Amino acid sequence: MKHSNISIFIPHNGCPHQCSFCNQKNITGQSCQPTGENVKSTLEKAVNDLDDKAENAEIAFFGGSFTAIDRDYMLTLLEAAKPYTNIFSGIRISTRPDYIDDEVLEILKKYNVTSIELGAQSMDDYVLKANNRGHSSADVISASKLIKNYGFSLGLQMMTGLYSSTYDKDIYTAQRFIELNPDTVRIYPTVIMKETELADLYLSGKFVPYTLEQSVDLSSMLIIMFEKADIKIIRLGLHYSDSLIKNSLGNNYHPAFKELCESKIFYNSFTEKTNMIDKTKKFTVYINEKSLSKFYGQKKSNLKSFSEMGYTFEIRFDNTLGKYDLYIK
């Protein structure tokens, strides 16, 4: 059964630093802070909407740095959510790596929090400093180990294409993540939001972001890296929102970013494996049945490209293959 989140946003609450890329009001379109009553009403509605599917959904506090917010306010939100943890699968929070310690983890255990995601963003200290993150890669390592020692599910979030980052630095971040062995990761290509330091750097010409094509190329490689390490990617690219479209700069945002990346994986695999094939002869491509749309590409872009290259082939299914695998006969 498909997992889902009942998301409760806490916009820019608890963040002690103004990161170069951050304008959460423009990203989420929301600036007000939820109360305990808001949490209860949201969860009551979710219980009614999800019915018997509720046990496969998590209560998720996102948007701010949950463990850095005012302690009384944090406890109010947790108190409101705790009675519902016997209906839903648990509570998921996101927070900063430098606001994790034994005391806060003991509190989170008490309130049935099950998953903790760290906004690591990069494992390169120069990139972290350039983007005003206010924490180090060592903080990510320390917090990750502590979270796992307490038995929480660990999630790590990375941003590709940050100011002062490079392909190599982003690959390095993924490699360090894999060494920490999180249960899940989220990959967010940097989107330039208006009214941020990053927007000023972009408009002045000091920050040249990845193009959409470059972001897709990079993220398609990251997918394979995490797939091989058996680490689940639970988000790739930002959710669609009218506010995000209205308040972003550049062309690096795409509402179907994940689909573009998955199509790119199959494009690369196909072209690599057909490099030495005689184009005058028909051949067979074997893929997992569930991967058919990924192989086709968004709006069948891959099929169109393969046809323009002069290849003639048929598709057959081999469901023993992984979701990103193919072979040719």
Closest residue by Cα to residue 310 from 287, 281, 285: 281
This prediction has a pTM of 0.91
Parallel/antiparallel/unpaired status of strands 192-193 and 153-160: unpaired
pLDDT of residue 28: 45
Parallel/antiparallel/unpaired status of strands 184-189 and 113-121: unpaired
Q: How far apart are the first and last CA of the chain?
A: 35
Statement: residue 62 has pLDDT above 60: yes
pLDDT category, 2, cuts 50, 70, 90? low
Parallel/antiparallel/unpaired status of strands 248-249 and 192-193: antiparallel
- Residue recorded with tokens 């430098």: 98
Mean of pLDDT values over 70-94:
95
All structural domains of the chain, each given as residue ranges with its CATH number in brackets, are: 4-255 (3.20.20.70), 262-328 (no CATH)
Q: What is the pLDDT of residues 98-136, one digit of tens each?
A: 999 999 999 999 999 999 999 999 999 999 999 999 999
Q: What is the pLDDT of residues 145-183, one digit of tens each?
A: 999 999 999 999 999 999 999 999 999 999 999 999 999
Between 144 and 65, name the one with better pLDDT. Answer: 144
pLDDT category, 27, cuts 50, 70, 90? very low
Q: What is the pLDDT of residues 195-220, one digit of tens each?
A: 999 999 999 999 999 999 999 999 99
Percent of the chain, pLDDT > 70? 95
pLDDT of residue 280: 86
pLDDT of residue 33: 86
Distances (CA, A) of 190 to 185, 249, 319: 16, 11, 35
Task: Give yes or no for a contact between 156 and 206, defined as CB atoms under 8 angstroms apart.
Answer: no
Statement: residue 25 has pLDDT above 70: no
Task: Give yes or no for a contact between 180 and 141, defined as CB atoms under 8 angstroms apart.
Answer: yes
**185: helix, coil or strand?**
strand
Closest residue by Cα to residue 25 from 36, 39, 40, 13: 13
DSSP strand E in the chain: where? 4-9, 57-62, 90-95, 113-121, 153-160, 184-189, 192-193, 232-236, 248-249, 283-287, 313-317, 326-328
Average pLDDT, the chain: 92
pLDDT category, 46, cuts 50, 70, 90? very high
